[in-house]
Structure 1
Amino acid sequence: MTFQIEYWHWVVFGMLLMMAEIVVPSFTIFWFGLGAMVLAALLAVLPDLSLSIQMVAWALVSCAFALAWFKFLRPRMVDRTKAGVAREAVMGETGQVILAPQSPRRGQVRFSTPVLGADEWEFICDEEVETGDRVMIVDISGNTLIVKKRA
């Protein structure tokens, strides 16, 4: 009696590897699980593949997924929001006034790079500012920035 690996064996193996990613949060095991799923699809189409070809194909596909993740996809997912950064790190950031303050409402300022997770913020300024003026963060008060006009 010979044991023949079926496509569903690869499906189960792939799912187990993907679930193992929950315990080992390195986001590398996931790609080997995804490689097993691709191999399951390949084996469903070509059921006569030998075990050695299956193993080589799984290793190549898994390594290709992992390489694509670390080389191309992950670098694009860099967090540029500065969310979770200490308030001192955002002091001095400059933005452009998109809505000048008029009593009783506050003004709105937009930043080219998100500051503490948002592109636009309400602000308070001691000086007179107009729409289009550049302002710089000098302090944070709750959900409002305290800014000064940039010379």
Structure 2
Amino acid sequence: MSEMFYTLGTWNWLIFGVILMALELLAPGVFLFWLGLAALLVGLVSFVLLPAWQMQLLMFAVFAAAAVPVWLRLARSNGAGTLSHPFLNRRADALVGRVFTLEKPIIDGSGTVRIDDTVWRVAGPDTPAGSRVRIVRADGANLTVAAA
């Protein structure tokens, strides 16, 4: 076993890093990616410094531990990007306050309006087709409108 440690070399670390990153494809979760990156860094540093095997293992441990805060920072910054799209997966809520033209009249409290390529069911006071209405509330796929 100790002979294996003595033979740790640059190419072994590079191959180990590539294998870990490839395993990430089979077991997604971003954990193996960072370990693979740490192994690649040890391999690259070993090209220049030629450290002893103990130092190589220590560098791997340090690089792997340093990857955790980097990963958390990247995950947080990517999570903040979804806040720039607050209506993602809530398309109807994004329509509240906008004004559209009725496609079919509202009769007995029900009618339709075409928004882009979709026909939406609307509820509100009786209004003739072609009238401008403002969306005041969204409830699932049903919109409540008022005269604009």
Query: Per the shorter chain, which TM-score range?
Result: 0.5 to 0.7
What's the counterpart of residue 19 of structure 1? 22
Give, as a single letter, the amino acid of the residue that structure 2 aligns with 1:85.
N
> d(CA) in 2 for partners of 1:140 and 1:50?
71
Corresponding residue for residue 87 of structure 1:
91
Whether the 8 Å contact between 1:28 and 1:66 is mirrored in structure 2 is no
Kindly indicate whether the alpha-carbon contact (under 8 Å) linking 1:87 and 1:140 is maintained by their aligned counterparts in 2.
no
Show the counterpart of 2:61.
Answer: 59
Unaligned 5+ runs, structure 1: 96-123, 127-138
Q: TM-score, normalised by structure 2?
A: 0.58
User: Identity over aligned residues, as a percent?
Assistant: 22
For structure 2, list consecutive stretches of 5 or more residues without a partner in the other structure. Answer: 102-112, 121-132, 137-147
1:9-43: per-residue Cα shift (whole Å, max 9, x none)? 00000000111111111112101100111100111
Q: Name the CA distance, whole Å, in 1 between partners of 2:20 and 2:9.
A: 17
Paired with 2:114 and 2:57, the residues of 1 have a C-alpha distance of 57
Please list every run of at least 4 consecutive aligned residues from structure 1 whose deviation after the TM superposition is greater than 6 angstroms: 144-147
Structure with the bigger percentage of helix: 2
1:141 equivalent to 2:115? Answer yes
Structure 1 residue identity aligned to 2:77 = R
Higher alpha-carbon deviation: 10-19 or 55-64: 55-64
Q: How many residues align?
A: 108
CA distance in structure 1 between the aligned counterparts of 2:114 and 2:70, rounded to whole angstroms: 40
Are the equivalent residues in 1 in contact too, given 2:95–2:135 (CA < 8 A)? no
Q: Following superposition of structure 1 onto structure 2, how do residues 37-48 of structure 1 map, counting pairs within 5 Å?
A: 37-47=40-50
User: What is the letter of the counterpart of residue 134 of structure 2?
Assistant: K
Mapped partners of 2:74, 2:35: distance in 1: 16
Write the distance in 1 (CA, Å) between the matches of 2:114 and 2:26. Answer: 39
* Contact 2:34 2:67 survives alignment (8 Å): yes
Looking at structure 2, the residues matched to 29 and 89 of structure 1 have their Cα atoms a distance apart, in angstroms, of 39
Instruction: Determine helix, strand or coil for the equivalent of 1:77.
Output: helix
CA distance in structure 2 between the aligned counterparts of 1:73 and 1:14, rounded to whole angstroms: 21
